[in-house]
């Protein structure tokens, strides 16, 4: 974990997991007669009261369309919406709020880059470089582009532990490489990729880097300037925010040069049947009425993270990862998939020859929610010659006792299927 | 018995661990595949018909305990049956796992009644029905891959 800057005077109270849990209404419930143990955070995180309230309050008190009305509510809605752009800028340490594009989520952000920036850059015989650990959302948009342009999708491999082979990646950065798309943190393995180093390698060859930050932002402070990437995409819902909203950050020079993606309202300056003049950034890339309440609630999530002892929270999460790794390693027959030295928040595993689906069903009856399957990373499953894994994934509100419940549930699985 | 024990009855666990008729069938005149892309369960069902009768049936592939046990039990249940009888069994099993024991014809089910626990687990219905859908396609000589997604 990168050190988090120490908070100034008037700093938030030191992190206390029990106090944080009380801010998440959903965590107090029982499922199947057992206390809910929510370990599916890489799929989506739960939301604190402040986020839920912010979305409801928007509809109760402010709701109006943005950038349109001359009336007071529209002014307030526009203000609330645009304030979040500045919050995201600060959150990512981006140079300008004009570089922050609101989207439906990481998937839409990546598709946007592929279909605008990508279409401009990639031609016949060119190459798009991705890694073997990408989520389908950072493979398929590039594959579609490659197909359309008669270009080639090139893949940088991972090693047995789930670490990206930087030497192999470097070898694949060739004269025809037009774009490198890479995940910050692997959703299936937990591996953290050395994005700053990767960007250096790519920059030396003039290759822009698109980073899938869906699993990055929930687990580590992100500074796009320090990373040196060209685009960074993330979703609000994995960051304790609402579903259906996310961000694409891009370097201004790229965004300026990109054509609009979707046509419609808000992205234009003037329209006649002969000619349309497109709006400036960021509106050029935001056609139609956006998810205004969602954006406002995403802002509340970012504010909430800024209001807690984040360094303490992330240290707690790292303690959980180490503790969970230790507990699982003690269970006979467990094979951890993804054992990179630098990991965030993911315990992907197999238990003997029990199918992950059966593991998931038994754990569910113990109140323990995990994900089973290929985690939208089928090429990675093929790499490890496995059909699926069981995955427990962490958030800052999890506690050690929940990992003990996971381990106890796995002992039950072992007894049943032995 | 808890719902979980009802799902993973000893017979199911046994068929999941040691599936019967679990092999390819050289000389099969009907083959159909079943695929659940969500969890990766993937089976091939082989049939050899003698006239209207299922003379031999076998399967191969991989998946969870429920899908494998259901496929294994299926091969035992439909062997020697006519196409029409196999279809009636399909209908009974489908009702059993989607709607519960009260909705299925016990006379058609026989040993397959051990699948009764599935209906309490909506997320596992697709697992239990996968090989059956492949069987149905095979009976109809339908070349399409059966998918439960």
Q: Which two tokens stand for residue B58?
A: 């076998």
- What's chain A's average pLDDT? 95
Q: What domains can be seen in chain A, in order of their start residue? A: 17-40+309-417 (3.90.1150.10), 52-306 (3.40.640.10)
Decide which of B149 and A178 is more confident: A178
> Rounded to a whole number, what is the distance in Å from the CA of B39 to chain A's nearest CA?
5
Q: For residue A353, which of A311, A378, A390, A397 has the smallest C-alpha distance?
A: A390
Q: What 3-state DSSP class applies to B38?
A: coil
Contact status, residue A247 vs residue A109, Cβ threshold 8 Å? yes
In degrees and rounded to multiples of 5, residue A113 shows phi and psi of -65, -45
Please check the confidence at residue A320 and state whether its pLDDT lies above 90.
Answer: yes
Could you tell me how many residues make up chain A? 418
At A68 the pLDDT is 79
- Which A residues 298-357 touch B at CB under 8 Å? 354-357
CATH number of B3-144: 3.90.1010.10
Put simply, the answer to whether A358 touches B65 (Cβ < 8 Å) is yes
Indicate the pairing of strand B53-62 with strand B41-50: antiparallel
At A8 the pLDDT is 53
Cα separation, B56 vs B75, in Å, equals 9
Contact status, residue B13 vs residue A417, Cβ threshold 8 Å? yes
- 3-state SS record for chain A: CCCCCCCCCCCCCCCCHHHHHCCCHHHHCEECCEECEECECCCCCCCCHHHHHHHHHHHHHHCCCCCCCCCHHHHHHHHHHHHHHHHHHHHHCCCCHHHEEEECCHHHHHHHHHHHHHHHHCCCCCEEEEECCCCHHHCHHHHHHHHHHCCEEEEECECCCCCECHHHHHHHCCCCEEEEEEECECCCCCEECCHHHHHHHHHCCCCCEEEECCCCCCCCCCCHHHHCCCEEEEECHHHCCCCCCEEEEECHHHHHHCCCCCCCCCCEEEECCCCEEECCCCHHHCCCCCCHHHHHHHHHHHHHHHHCCHHHHHHHHHHHHHHHHHHHHCCCCEEECCCCCCECCEEEEEECCECHHHHHHHHHHCCEECEEECCCCHHHHHHCCCCCEEEEECCCCCCHHHHHHHHHHHHHHHHHHC
For A8-42, how does the pLDDT look when each residue is reduced to its tens digit (9 = 90+)?
556 789 999 999 999 999 999 999 999 999 999 99
Tell me if residue A376 is catalytic: yes
Mean pLDDT of A308-323: 98
Residue by residue, pLDDT tens for chain B (149 residues) are 689 999 999 999 999 999 999 999 999 999 999 998 777 789 999 999 999 999 999 999 999 999 999 999 999 999 999 999 999 999 999 999 999 988 888 888 999 999 999 999 998 999 999 999 999 999 988 666 777 66
At A21 the pLDDT is 98
At A6 the pLDDT is 53
- Which A residues 51-110 touch B at CB under 8 Å? none
Please check the confidence at residue A5 and state whether its pLDDT lies above 80.
Answer: no
Put simply, the answer to whether A365 touches B13 (Cβ < 8 Å) is no
Cα separation, A152 vs A159, in Å, equals 23
At A3 the pLDDT is 55
B-side interface with A, Cβ within 8 Å? 2-4, 7-8, 13, 17, 38-42, 62-66, 121, 123-124, 127
In degrees and rounded to multiples of 5, residue A249 shows phi and psi of -100, 140
Put simply, the answer to whether B13 touches A374 (Cβ < 8 Å) is no
Of A358, A373, A387, the CB nearest to B62: A387
Please check the confidence at residue A201 and state whether its pLDDT lies above 60.
Answer: yes
Put simply, the answer to whether A354 touches B7 (Cβ < 8 Å) is no
Mean pLDDT of A244-269: 93
A190 φ/ψ sector (left φ>0, alpha ψ -120 to 50, else beta): left
Mean pLDDT of A307-320: 98
At A194 the pLDDT is 98
Cα separation, A366 vs A369, in Å, equals 9
Please check the confidence at residue A270 and state whether its pLDDT lies above 80.
Answer: yes
- Classify each residue of A140-170 as buried b or exposed e, where b means 16 or more C-beta atoms within 10 Å of its C-beta: bbbeebbeebebebbbbebeeebbbeeeebe
Put simply, the answer to whether B39 touches A361 (Cβ < 8 Å) is no
Catalytic residue from among A376, A381, A386, A408: A376
Cα separation, B92 vs B119, in Å, equals 13
At B146 the pLDDT is 75
For A89-107, how does the pLDDT look when each residue is reduced to its tens digit (9 = 90+)?
999 999 999 999 999 999 9
Q: Which two tokens stand for residue A264?
A: 């419609």
Put simply, the answer to whether A373 touches B3 (Cβ < 8 Å) is no
At B147 the pLDDT is 72
Mean pLDDT of A210-232: 98
Please check the confidence at residue A245 and state whether its pLDDT lies above 90.
Answer: yes
CA geometry: angle A238, A131, A135, nearest 5 deg: 30
B61 → chain A, closest CA residue: A387
> First vs last Cα of chain A: how many Å apart?
38
Confidence of residue A329 (pLDDT cuts 50, 70, 90): very high
> Rounded to a whole number, what is the distance in Å from the CA of B40 to chain A's nearest CA?
6
Q: What single-letter DSSP state applies at residue B82?
A: B
- Cβ-based neighbours of A364, under 8 Å, separated by 6 or more: A31, A32
Put simply, the answer to whether A357 touches B39 (Cβ < 8 Å) is yes
User: Which of A357, A362, A366, A385 is the best residue to mutate to test the B interface, defined by the most B CB atoms within 10 Å of its own CB?
Assistant: A357
Contact status, residue B60 vs residue B44, Cβ threshold 8 Å? yes
């Amino acid at each position: 974990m990168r050190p988090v800057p120490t908070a100034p005077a008037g700093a938030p109270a030191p992190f206390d997991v029990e106090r944080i849990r009380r801010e998440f209404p959903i965590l107090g419930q029982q499922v199947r007669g057992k206390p809910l143990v929510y370990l599916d955070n890489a799929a989506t995180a739960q939301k604190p009261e402040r986020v839920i309230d912010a979305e409801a309050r928007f509809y109760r008190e402010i709701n109006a369309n943005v950038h349109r009305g001359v009336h007071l509510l529209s002014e307030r809605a526009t203000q609330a919406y645009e304030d979040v752009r500045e919050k995201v800028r600060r959150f990512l340490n981006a140079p300008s709020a004009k570089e922050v594009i609101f989207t439906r989520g990481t998937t839409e952000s990546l598709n946007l880059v592929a279909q605008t920036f990508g279409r401009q850059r990639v031609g016949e015989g060119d190459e798009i470089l991705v890694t073997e650990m990408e989520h389908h959302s950072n493979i398929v948009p590039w594959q579609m582009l490659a197909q359309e342009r008669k270009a080639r999708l090139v893949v940088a491999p991972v090693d047995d532990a789930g670490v990206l082979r930087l030497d192999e990646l470097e070898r694949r950065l060739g004269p025809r490489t037009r774009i490198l798309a890479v995940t910050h943190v692997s959703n299936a393995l937990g591996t953290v990729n050395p994005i700053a180093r990767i960007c250096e390698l790519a920059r030396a060859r003039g290759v822009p880097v698109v980073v899938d930050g869906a699993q990055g932002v929930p687990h580590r402070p992100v500074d796009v300037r320090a990373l040196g990437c060209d685009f960074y995409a993330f979703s609000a819902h994995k960051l304790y925010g609402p579903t259906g909203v996310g961000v694409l950050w891009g370097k201004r020079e790229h965004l300026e040069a990109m054509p609009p993606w979707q046509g419609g309202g808000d992205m234009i300056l003037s329209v006649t049947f002969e000619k349309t003049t497109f709006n400036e950034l960021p509106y050029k890339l935001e056609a139609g009425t956006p998810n205004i309440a969602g954006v406002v609630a995403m802002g509340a999530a970012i504010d909430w993270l800024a209001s807690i002892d984040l360094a303490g929270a992330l240290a707690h999460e790292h303690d959980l990862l180490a503790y969970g790794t230790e507990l699982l390693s003690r269970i006979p027959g467990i094979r951890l998939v993804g054992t990179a030295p630098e990991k965030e928040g993911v315990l992907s595993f197999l238990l003997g020859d029990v199918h992950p689906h059966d593991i998931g069903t038994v754990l569910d009856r113990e109140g323990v929610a995990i994900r089973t399957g290929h985690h939208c990373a089928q090429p990675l499953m093929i790499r490890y010659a496995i059909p699926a894994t069981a995955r427990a994934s962490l958030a800052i509100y999890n506690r050690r006792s929940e990992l003990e419940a996971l381990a106890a549930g796995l002992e039950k699985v072992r007894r049943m299927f032995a | 018995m808890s719902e979980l024990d009802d799902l993973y009855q000893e017979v199911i666990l046994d068929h999941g661990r040691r599936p019967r008729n679990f092999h390819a069938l050289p000389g099969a005149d009907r083959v159909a595949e079943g695929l659940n892309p969500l969890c990766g369960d993937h089976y091939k069902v082989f049939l050899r018909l003698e006239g209207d009768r299922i003379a031999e049936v076998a399967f191969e592939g991989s998946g969870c305990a429920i899908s494998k046990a259901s496929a294994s039990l299926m091969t035992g249940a439909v062997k020697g049956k006519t196409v029409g009888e196999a279809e009636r069994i399909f209908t009974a099993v489908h009702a059993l796992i989607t709607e519960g024991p009260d909705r299925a014809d016990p006379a058609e089910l026989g040993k397959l009644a051990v699948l009764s626990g599935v209906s309490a687990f909506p997320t596992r219905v697709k697992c239990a029905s996968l090989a059956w859908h492949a069987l149905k396609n095979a009976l109809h000589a339908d070349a399409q891959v059966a998918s439960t997604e």
